[in-house]
Structure 1
Amino acid sequence: MSIKSEHNKVNVIIQNRVHAPIASLECMEEGMMSIDSPLMSNPFCRQASLSNLSGLRYRNLGKSGLRISNIGLGTWVTFGSQISEEVAEEILTLAYESGINIFDTADVYASERAEIILGNILKKKGWRRSSYVITTKLFWGGRPDTERGLSRKQIIEGLTESLERLQLNCVDILLINKADPMCPMEEVVRACTYCVNQGLTMYWGTSRWSSVEIMEAYTVARQFNQIPPVVEQTEYHMFQREKVELFLPELFHKIGMGTMTWSPQAFGLLTGKFDEGIQLLSRGSVRNFSALQDKFGSEESRSPHHQSKMYEISLIAEKLGCTATQLAIAWCLKNENIHCVLVSASTPEQLDEHLHSLQIAPHLNALIMSEIEKVLENKPERQPFIR
Structure 2
Amino acid sequence: MEYRRLGKSGLQVSALSLGSWLTFGNQISDKVADELMGIAYDAGVNFFDNAEGYAEGKSEITMGKILKAQKWDRDSFVVSSKVFFGAENKGPNQMGLSRKHVIEACNGALSRLQVDYLDLYFCHRPDKNTPIAETVLAMNTLLQQGKILYWGTSEWSAAEITEAIGVAKDYRLIGPTMEQPQYNLLTRDKLEQEFLLLFRDHGIGTTTWSPLASGLLSGKYTKGDVKDTRLDMKGMEWLKDRTLADERMKKVGDLQKLADKLNVSLAKMSVAWCLKNPNVSTVILGASKAAQLKENLTSLEVLPLLTDEIMLQIDEMMGTKPVQPQF
Quickly name the TM-score band, shorter chain normalised: over 0.9
TM-score (norm: length of structure 1):
0.80
1:257 corresponding residue in structure 2: 204
Cα distance, 1:84 vs. partner?
A: 1.3
CA gap of 1:124–1:274, structure 2 versus 1, over 3 A, is closer
Equivalent residues of 2:178, 2:207 under 8 A apart: yes
1:302 corresponding residue in structure 2: 246
Q: Secondary structure at the match of 1:193?
A: helix
Larger radius of gyration: 1
Q: Secondary structure at the match of 1:265?
A: coil
1:15 corresponding residue in structure 2: none
2:113 is the alignment partner of 1:169: no
Cα distance, 1:308 vs. partner?
A: 2.3
1:72 corresponding residue in structure 2: 17
2:284 is the alignment partner of 1:338: no
Structure 1 segment 1-387 matched on structure 2, within 5 A: 56-140=1-85, 144-146=90-92, 147-274=94-221, 278=224, 280=226, 282-297=229-244, 301-303=245-247, 306-382=248-324
Distance 2:239 2:297 in 1: 25
Cα distance, 1:367 vs. partner?
A: 1.5
Cα distance, 1:260 vs. partner?
A: 1.2
Distance 1:100 1:285 in 2: 29
Distance 1:160 1:141 in 2: 12
Distance 2:221 2:59 in 1: 30
Q: Match of 1:92, as an amino acid?
A: M
Q: Secondary structure at the match of 1:202?
A: strand
Distance 1:374 1:275 in 2: 20
Cα distance, 1:103 vs. partner?
A: 0.3
Equivalent residues of 2:133, 2:167 under 8 A apart: yes
Q: Match of 1:144, as an amino acid?
A: K
CA gap of 1:341–1:180, structure 2 versus 1, over 3 A, is same
Q: Secondary structure at the match of 1:127?
A: coil
| CA RMSD after TM alignment | 1.8
Cα distance, 1:384 vs. partner?
A: 6.9
Aligned residue pairs: how many? 324
Cα distance, 1:295 vs. partner?
A: 3.1
Equivalent residues of 1:331, 1:361 under 8 A apart: yes
Cα distance, 1:145 vs. partner?
A: 4.4
Distance 1:124 1:204 in 2: 27
CA gap of 1:191–1:274, structure 2 versus 1, over 3 A, is closer
Equivalent residues of 1:173, 1:201 under 8 A apart: yes
Cα distance, 1:334 vs. partner?
A: 1.1
Mark the runs of 5 or more structure 1 residues left unpaired by the alignment: 1-55
Q: Secondary structure at the match of 1:264?
A: coil
Of structures 1 and 2, the one scoring higher in RCO (CA 8 A, sep 6+) is 2
CA gap of 1:310–1:340, structure 2 versus 1, over 3 A, is same
Distance 2:221 2:76 in 1: 40
CA gap of 1:160–1:343, structure 2 versus 1, over 3 A, is same
TM-score (norm: length of structure 2):
0.94
1:3 corresponding residue in structure 2: none
Per-residue CA deviation, residues 69-114 of structure 1 (Å, 9 max, x unaligned), is 1111001111111211111111111111111100001111112111
